[in-house]
Chain A
C-alpha cells in the first residue's frame, strides 16, 4: 500500500468483494418480500377445425378466444427485472395425463405494464393435440408467470381459472 498502484489494487479488490456481498444480500432478502398477484380468465369462444396442415394428414386445430384480466404489479419489487407471462391451457386425455399448451405469452418490463387487460386474446400459436383429435376434452386455463430478478433465484407462479369449458366437436368451417 506504499504507492498509488498498490493502494488502488487493494481498494479495488476489496470493493469487488464487498460488491458481491451486497448482491448476495439483495438475492437473499428478495424472496421474503410479499406479493399478491391475481388473474382472471374467461373463455369467450372455442372452435375446433379439422385441417390438413403441411400435408401431414387431417388433425384438429383449436382456436380459442379469451378475456384476460390480471394484476401482477405486486410482483415488481426492487429486484425484478422483468416478468415472462403466458396463458396456459391444461387438460387430460386417455392417452396422456398432462397436456399443457401455451396460448399466448408476453414480456412485461415495468410495473405499469403489469396491469394486463386483454379483451380479445386469441391463441398466438397453433393449438393442436399430440394425437390428431381433441375428442371434446375439458380444458382449464391459467395464467403462468416467471419472475426474472436482477440478482438471485428465478421464481414462478400460476393462477388457475375456474372456467372449464368443453371443446366443441370438430367443424369444417371457421366462423
Chain B
C-alpha cells in the first residue's frame, strides 16, 4: 500500500517537475500581484496566488504519466551461479 502511495517519478520527470512547479508558482505570484495592484485589492492577490499554489500541487504532486516517460534503466540481474564464484571472494 505505502509503495503505491509513494508516487514515484523518474529522474527526467523530476527535472520536468521542478521546472514546472517553479515556473507556475512564480507565474501565479506575478499575475496575482499585478491584478491586485491594478484593482487595489489585496485579497484578490492572495486568492490568485494561493489558488496558484494549489493548482501547482495538482500539477506536480501526483505521479502523472508525463513524469514517468524515462524510467531508470537498471542493469540486468546477475544469475545465482556467478555470485557463488570463489574467485570473486
Measuring CB to CB, which residues of chain A are less than 8 angstroms from any residue of chain B? Answer: 1-4, 7-8, 10-11, 14-15, 18-19, 21-22, 25-26, 29, 77-79, 150
Contacts and interface: CB of A to CB of B under 8 A. Distances in A.
- Give the interface SS of chain B, mostly helix, strand, loop or mixed: helix
Interface of B: 5-9, 11, 14, 17-18, 21-22, 25-26, 29, 32-33, 36-37, 39-42, 45, 49, 53, 56-57, 60-61
Contact of B40 (A18, A22, A77): A77
A3 B25 contact: no
Contacts, number: 64
B40 A11 contact: no
9 contacts: A1-B18, A10-B21, A18-B29, A21-B29, A77-B40, A78-B36, A78-B39, A78-B42, A79-B42
- The list of the 9 closest CB pairs from A to B, nearest first, reads A4-B7, A1-B14, A78-B40, A78-B42, A3-B6, A15-B53, A22-B29, A18-B29, A11-B21
